[in-house]
């Protein structure tokens, strides 16, 4: 196995449930265990120190309280989705009637047609993963594995509200370039929700949605101004930030142009505008601000699945595709020049998202893309080298 998934285990307080918690943690998965008392959690915490699992990304999120009602199961469902994305494995060791195929009102954890219509039951089970006497209650739900963001703490469920208290990004510092609207604004909001401190940039001097977010951020959001197509402004931002350090530098600037505009009819000025904004300028930001991330930090750039040359079988958006492919190539060259760098380098493809740039016909909403994308970015922390990933953590063909 070896690829981290989210595993939900109901009825995990003892017996087979407790055994499965330990097995999946040792496998490197993130485990959300239900029906766990504080006493049991303390016992597990003393037994299963992180060193037990050979430094792999194995994290336990314990859920206390009564899960016998539809309301409490629904609360678990929503918080699991919000914090961990796709659930890869569901093991029902309790007496809940969970059905990963039907997904009706009484079974919201096992399937959520509203948010993930392609869930399916996997009938082939590996005998070494689960004991035979619970095979009938084990379901592989995600069509492909999904990496999970690490957390340095155990985070028991708030038993009065039934909400998972995630510390995924607590104390994380984020420098986010391009956050006035759309995906950038959503990334800022997501990191703030996860407890991070964010410095985010806008291009102009007017009030934006980011300023409205700042009003409710309790001092956790700072706003800077920079037009990344102007190198002098990027350098000025670097000077203002001084010796500050960030866990994550995320560059999210980009523009598009006409879907049917081709190399035959695009003007030189328009071609230059898209290429400079989408390819050259983000790399100049990395070259100038990259040193603000520590040796174990992450540098991420918002690319696109349309930047994939291998996957371009339908055409369309020629100039935009070319700019994202150029960005990917420049980032690969950057990685080659820094091959001994211990930092994580990411090119992220968020999917086709309903934003002002993505349009109303896009397949995904922001809430279906960005929380998962942030989880994927956090999951890669500490993994040196360059990866080109989509919002579900899958590698995109170059």
Pair 132, 206 in one domain: no
Instruction: State pLDDT tens for residues 313-323.
Output: 888 889 999 99
Pair 255, 202 in one domain: yes
Residue 1 lies in a domain: no
Residue 192 lies in a domain: yes
Pair 81, 208 in one domain: no
Residue 153 lies in a domain: no
User: Residue 140, Cα to own-chain centre: how many angstroms?
Assistant: 21
Pair 226, 328 in one domain: yes
Select from 253, 239, 238, 189 the least CA-distant residue to 215: 189
The list of the chain residues with pLDDT below 50 reads 1-2, 50-51, 53-56, 95-168
CATH code of the domain containing 106: 3.40.50.720
Select from 22, 25, 28 the least CA-distant residue to 3: 28
What is the reported pLDDT for 75? 64
Helices and strands per DSSP (H, E), number in the chain: 10, 12
What is the reported pLDDT for 367? 85
The number of distinct structural domains making up the chain is 2
Task: Give the C-alpha separation, 355 to 384, whole Å.
Answer: 32
Pair 230, 102 in one domain: no
Pair 365, 313 in one domain: yes
Pair 99, 219 in one domain: no
Pair 130, 197 in one domain: no
Q: Which residue is listed with tokens 């919000």?
A: 82
Helix axes 38-47, 15-26, angle to 10 degrees: 40
Pair 242, 341 in one domain: yes
Pair 12, 84 in one domain: yes
Select from 348, 333, 182, 365 the least CA-distant residue to 256: 182
Residue 162 lies in a domain: no
Task: Give the C-alpha separation, 228 to 239, whole Å.
Answer: 14
SS3 109: coil
Which residue range is the domain that position 66 belongs to?
A: 6-140
Residue 148 lies in a domain: no
What is the reported pLDDT for 58? 62
């Amino acid at each position: 196995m070896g690829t981290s998934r989210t595993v939900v285990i109901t009825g995990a307080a003892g017996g087979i449930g407790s055994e499965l918690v330990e097995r999946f943690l040792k496998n490197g998965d993130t485990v959300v265990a239900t029906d766990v008392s504080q006493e049991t959690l303390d016992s597990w915490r003393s037994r299963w120190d992180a060193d037990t699992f050979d430094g792999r990304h194995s994290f336990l999120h314990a859920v206390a309280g009564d899960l016998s009602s539809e309301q409490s199961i629904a609360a678990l469902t929503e918080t699991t989705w919000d914090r961990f994305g796709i659930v890869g494995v569901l093991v029902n060791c309790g007496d809940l009637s969970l059905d990963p195929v039907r997904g009706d009102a009484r079974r919201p954890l096992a399937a959520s047609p509203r948010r993930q219509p392609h869930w399916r039951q996997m009938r082939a089970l590996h005998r070494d993963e689960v004991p035979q006497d619970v095979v009938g209650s084990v379901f592989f739900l995600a069509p492909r594995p999904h990496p999970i963001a690490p957390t340095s703490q155990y985070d028991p469920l708030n038993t009065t509200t039934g909400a998972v208290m995630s510390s995924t990004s607590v104390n994380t510092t984020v420098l986010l370039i391009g956050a006035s609207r759309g995906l950038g604004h959503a990334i800022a909001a997501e990191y703030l929700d996860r407890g991070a401190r964010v410095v985010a940039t806008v291009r102009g001097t007017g009030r934006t949605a980011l300023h409205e977010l700042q009003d409710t951020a309790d001092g956790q959001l700072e706003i800077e101004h920079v037009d990344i197509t102007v190198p002098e402004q990027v350098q000025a931002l670097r000077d203002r930030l001084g010796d500050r350090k960030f866990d994550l530098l995320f560059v999210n600037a980009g523009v598009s142009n006409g879907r049917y505009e081709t190399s035959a009819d695009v003007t030189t000025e328009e071609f230059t505008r898209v290429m400079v904004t989408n390819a050259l300028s983000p790399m100049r930001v990395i070259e100038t601000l990259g040193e603000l991330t520590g040796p174990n930090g992450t540098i991420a750039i918002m690319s696109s699945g349309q930047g994939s040359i291998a996957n371009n079988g339908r055409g369309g958006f020629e100039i935009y595709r070319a700019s994202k492919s150029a960005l990917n190539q420049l980032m690969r060259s950057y990685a080659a020049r820094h091959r001994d760098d211990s930092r994580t380098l990411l090119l992220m493809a968020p999917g086709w998202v309903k934003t002002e740039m993505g349009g109303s016909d896009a397949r995904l909403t922001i809430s279906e893309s960005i929380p998962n994308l942030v989880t994927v970015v956090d999951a890669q922390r500490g993994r040196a080298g360059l990866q080109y990933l989509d919002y579900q953590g899958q590698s995109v063909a170059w």
